[in-house]
Amino acid sequence: MSYETPRFWGRTARTGELQDGEVDMPPKKRTAVAAAAAAATTANGLPPDPPTPKRRRRPVAKAAALERSSSTASHASTASSIAPPAIKVEDWPAEFKALEKVHRSLNTVFTFCCTRKHLATTFENIKTSVEGLTNRPLTVEDIAQIKFFLPRSISFNYVEQDKLALNIADTTAQFPSKRARAREEAYSTLTEAAISNTLIADETHEAEVRPIQNVLLFEYLDGDLKKTTTRVVKGKRVVKEAPEFTAAAMTKLISKRNAKFISAVSAFLVESQNLGVGPIERLQAEFKSHVPIEETSTQEPQPETTKKPPPKLPSPDDRPTIKSIIDGLIVRPSYQNQIVPNGRRTIPPRPPHHAPLSTPLSQSLANALYTTKSITPSTFYSHQSEALNAIWRGESVVVGTPTSSGKSLIYQVPTLHALEEDSGVRAMYIFPTKALAQDQRRGMNELLSCTEGLEWVRTETFDGDTPVEERDRIRDEARVIFTNPDMLHMTILPNEGNWRMFLKGLRYVVVDELHIYNGIFGTHVAYVMRRLRRLCATVGNRRVQFISCTATIQNPVEHMKHIFGLEEVTLVEEDGSPSGAKEFVCWNPPYVDPADPSAGRVSTIAEASKLFIHLVLRGIRVIAFCKIRKVCEVLVKTVRSILTDMGRGEVAERVMSYRGGYTPQDRRRIEKEMFEGRLVGIIATNALELGVDIGALDAVICVGFPMTISALRQQSGRAGRRNKDSLTVLVADPYPIDQHYMQNPDELFEKPNTAAQVDLSNPMILEGHCQCAAFEMPIRVGEDESYFGDDLGMLADARMMRDGEGFYHCHPRFKPYPSKHVAIRDVESDGFAVVDVTNNRNVVLEEIEPTRAIFTIYEGAIFMHQGYSYIVRELNIDSKIAKVQLANVDWITRPRDFTDVDPIETQMIRRIRGSRSRAFYGHIRVTAVVFGFFKLDRRNNILDTVEVDNPPIVIDTKGLWIDVPKEALEILKMKHLNVAAAIHAAEHAVLSLLPSFVMSTPGEVRTECKDPTKELSKRETSRKRPARLIFYDARGSGAGISLKAFEFIDHLLHRAIERVEVCNCQEGCPECTISSQCRGANIITSKAGAGVILKKILGRKVDIDTLPEGDVMEHTIETVVESDRIPSARNVVVEDEESQEDVDVIEGLGEEITKEEEDEEKPQVVKKEEDME
């Protein structure tokens, strides 16, 4: 691979030919760079360098002079934001004047290099050009002295040379030398070891690491030249478009850096004078810590006697207290007030509270509890005793105590107690994920193995991974099965005849993590449970008890009643378990340069990685939660890289990631490693948010606000499982919703928990499960209304087949397997296999869902797995295989994509009262296209832009929309308010109120979020979006939530404008126009614009004089046009405009179903169950 050396405008005066290390530039580029350098120099108060004698490019020189004169004033204003120097440059000592000239030249060279693709600013690459400008040698010490003055603005470190390559060819071309091939094999071996969990022999590891070549890389960290590429909006640096460079942008950035350096040196000179020390001597004594040191891994191995073993990590029992660690962080020099005001809370420790059991335990069960849990009958916590006593009274119970309070015993003990008395007793434990079910089975087996007399009891996992040939044996022999709602819905209930003996003996049904069954998924599960109760009653079993555990929610009793259809439920929520002190910290990454907020904040990943490493090196066992998979992988790679650079490779090997997509075998292995204490830290998505026991954890780092406060509290509960003090750190993203909570941390602690909801009146879900129930056992309306509601008779008459005896049977269109036509949650089957072909390994790394694959494994993408980077060599859509190859690179890729949400047919029209506007409902098409990708460095700067040709993903669904009145668009344009931002904010305002009118949860109804890359572009786009508010049912829900919202659209709009008007925020907040579900990070929003749109839709007047004049989204490119009329279907339903009375917009149940409608109405077929994430 090759690296370009930056070559400047240095033709020799005598010949005009290029010198070594220089390159001729195009005239326009030469003009821009020359003007930038000269203008920036002049603004700093120093005479410019003598110009190169004019030879062949006289017009260019004139242009440079013109640009120089026009840009001096502009960048002078930039420098004015930095305090003027106390000592002028001309009064500096000669050594500092010379260093200022070096910095000025280095700054100019680096800025030029940023305009060139594939150009790495290594020391060797920039050395010649800087020396040409200063007429003196450039040394490493020079740059180290400059970094001494600007430690936060400059990076000057050794990096692996190969990581800087942008274009990665096939293996044979990428690694032409023997040493490079050995290095590639070394990485392959390391990856193999990580996957198989094997150790590599020290001598092999050492021999293979030695060939790695390092280079010195110089970078500025305090700003970005690409002013038309990225833009800071609401604190977030946004990728806009492919790079473009102008002389004005270069001049401004050079000037700002020069002024910053002059200010820093001047302050240093004043300080030295006040201290009475010589500035030169002081500089020589203090700058050496900034001289980069190359890692010894590429050098000859040291003698064994000189090697110092790394310090051992403190054991969990000997670790420092959490309070002392936080106090230590605050006094470190690197601390920059990241803990926001009022953002540190301490929850005091709580002692245990015990209570007696009402029913004595057998001696064998008591012995087992003591052996496995160190529990005696007198040491049960009060909430455990309260729940057990209620269960033994025959009551159904919901336990709402926090995570790690010992809830598992509440359903384990009654099951074992019942089996001791009756060998025919069965129990069914239902968990939302396979991982949680398998984890709980391990705990039950441990208890069983120590219970004398119950050695014969078999427990089995019954899920999608259970071999078909094993299922009959499990059904007949198991006394306790661990399963999930999907298997109950698709396998157990439809085969009632085979499961009849099990159902007759069923005593306890345990549903853990009850809060997960919320919204549409919860509604489906509620009907599955009613079907279970119905079949148990049919076979004569009416004594089934239900036991549930849940995270803290607002309505646990009401929710459990709705899920199971019960009339009475006992609540246990007073926690009697002990708890250590809990520290909660809100951590906001600092600005890269406090004097220049426009440079943005330090990245969330950088801050989280430092915190993670700081904790694990002090013996703190940490879990970091990330919102998306890619952040999870980048963070684990960053943590490992830093630990390795620190010489703590043995610690890096004990940090792993955990997320959806990994094979079940890998996930179980990681869980075991964490549980057994072999890992010191784990970086996960919300796949580990649920209560899988991974052992004692001391700290949780939330990398970005995790969508909801309830999720934040659930994640926080993973720490402190062994009654020791614990820590939760919320590291904020720069997004508006994160920054809102950094400014208002009280809301994180004081807001009430959310209420769980299910909608049993949803006719689409009701019909699907009634068809399933009729297949399992014919329906008799009078008896089964207690399970399926009062509308069952009307639904059965319209949609089912009645026999001569009055029983209703499943409609033939759902046969032969009705449950396969009712998707209880949004899952995808037939994923893409990601195959590692490095050195012909041909190992499947993981499987990716089709809708995710288009955004992650396009050809040329960097795909990350367990912190290792792979480049996608080939993607075969037909075979659904992506071939990837290990790549040692220091950049990532980001897709360039768009998603259009367009109505294609109107089925219903409703007039909005008091207005000429109308709301529409009908078919909607969602089209997602990836048309290219960016290559981005770790600071989110674009290194390259690549085009790709991928087929689109098209999803057809239903939804509602409202066209924005033309008058509203005119007002927005008149006041220079961004139209796209206004529409986006109005959509968020309506969506946030949806749960107040319709049973729904976030994400079940979506909108078209505005993409910052497109909306902030300065380029004209052919993809103009219609001016409309649009909402659609998320893929796979099939629940008609948007149809119900359509019925309440008048009320929704009125409440939305009220919410926007009464909210005291300036630019939008989570209470009005900011959504945690926004795919565009809430960057393109305008609260003022949203008010205009909502008012005009409702026919209200807008006080134009009170509107702000322009907003942060203002630009000259229009991305929104007036909306067109959408074709209407036959027999479209229209509201009676004269009477203003609502018509019944829900299609009658008695309509005859045609063959075409029948095919269209069949829900998605679910071929396999999947873990949630």
Measured distance CA(528)–CA(564) in Å, rounded: 9
Q: If pLDDT is split at 50, 70 and 90, which confidence band does 487 have?
A: very high
Judged against a pLDDT cut of 50, whether residue 5 lies above it is answered with: no
Q: What is the pLDDT of residue 582?
A: 93
- Asked if CATH classification 3.30.565.10 holds for the domain at 363-572, the reply, yes or no, is no
Measured distance CA(569)–CA(548) in Å, rounded: 10
Q: What is the pLDDT of residue 1136?
A: 52
pLDDT single digits (tens) 804-822: 899 999 999 999 999 998 9
Q: If pLDDT is split at 50, 70 and 90, which confidence band does 213 have?
A: confident
Compare 698 and 303 and report the one with higher pLDDT: 698
Q: For residues 358-386, give the mean pLDDT.
A: 94
Measured distance CA(400)–CA(551) in Å, rounded: 6
Q: What is the pLDDT of residue 476?
A: 94
What are the backbone dihedrals phi and psi of residue 445, each rounded to the nearest 5 degrees, phi first? -65, -35
Q: For residues 179-195, give the mean pLDDT.
A: 45
Q: If pLDDT is split at 50, 70 and 90, which confidence band does 151 have?
A: confident
Judged against a pLDDT cut of 80, whether residue 1156 lies above it is answered with: no
Judged against a pLDDT cut of 80, whether residue 908 lies above it is answered with: yes
Cα three-residue angle 1109-1110-1114, rounded to 5 degrees: 165
Delimiting residues of CATH 3.40.50.300 domain(s) in the chain: 322-330+338-343+579-750, 363-572
Provide the mean pLDDT of the chain: 81
Nearest C-alpha neighbor of 634 from the set 659, 651, 616, 615: 659
Class for the domain spanning 322-330+338-343+579-750: alpha beta
Q: Which two tokens stand for residue 665?
A: 């075998």
Judged against a pLDDT cut of 80, whether residue 1058 lies above it is answered with: yes
Compare 993 and 600 and report the one with higher pLDDT: 993
Q: What is the pLDDT of residue 1038?
A: 54
Q: If pLDDT is split at 50, 70 and 90, which confidence band does 32 have?
A: very low
pLDDT single digits (tens) 1002-1032: 788 999 999 887 888 777 778 899 999 999 9
Q: What is the pLDDT of residue 296?
A: 53
Number of other CB atoms surrounding residue 956 within 10 Å: 13
Q: Give CA separation, 941 vs 112, 115, 224, 252, in Å.
A: 15, 12, 8, 18
What are the backbone dihedrals phi and psi of residue 784, each rounded to the nearest 5 degrees, phi first? -95, 0
User: Considering the chain, what percentage of its residues have pLDDT values greater than 70?
Assistant: 80
- Helices 979-997 and 1087-1097, axial angle in degrees (round to 10): 70
**Burial category of 841 from C-beta neighbours within 10 Å (exposed 0-12, middle 13-18, buried 19 and up):** middle
Q: What is the pLDDT of residue 722?
A: 63
Q: Give CA separation, 376 vs 312, 367, 656, 997, 1035, in Å.
A: 37, 8, 37, 50, 50
Q: What is the pLDDT of residue 297?
A: 46
Q: What is the pLDDT of residue 611?
A: 97
Q: For residues 131-140, give the mean pLDDT.
A: 92
Q: Compute the residue count for the chain.
A: 1173
Judged against a pLDDT cut of 70, whether residue 1145 lies above it is answered with: no
Compare 1168 and 812 and report the one with higher pLDDT: 812
């900034």: which residue's tokens? 290
Q: If pLDDT is split at 50, 70 and 90, which confidence band does 224 have?
A: low
Q: What is the pLDDT of residue 882?
A: 94
What are the backbone dihedrals phi and psi of residue 186, each rounded to the nearest 5 degrees, phi first? -65, -45
Q: What is the pLDDT of residue 830?
A: 75
Measured distance CA(975)–CA(973) in Å, rounded: 5
Compare 1114 and 648 and report the one with higher pLDDT: 648
Lowest mean pLDDT among 777-791, 916-930, 1144-1158: 1144-1158
Measured distance CA(965)–CA(1123) in Å, rounded: 9
Q: What is the pLDDT of residue 223?
A: 62
Q: What is the pLDDT of residue 1111?
A: 62
Lowest mean pLDDT among 165-174, 719-728, 833-842, 1114-1123: 165-174
Judged against a pLDDT cut of 60, whether residue 1115 lies above it is answered with: no
Amino acid, res. 358:
S
Q: What is the pLDDT of residue 30?
A: 45
Judged against a pLDDT cut of 50, whether residue 839 lies above it is answered with: yes
Judged against a pLDDT cut of 50, whether residue 527 lies above it is answered with: yes
Judged against a pLDDT cut of 50, whether residue 59 lies above it is answered with: no
Judged against a pLDDT cut of 60, whether residue 566 lies above it is answered with: yes
| H-type alpha helices, 936-1070 | 966-974, 979-997, 1012-1015, 1041-1047, 1049-1062
Measured distance CA(828)–CA(1100) in Å, rounded: 45
Lowest mean pLDDT among 305-319, 450-464, 1105-1119, 1143-1157: 1143-1157
Compare 63 and 805 and report the one with higher pLDDT: 805
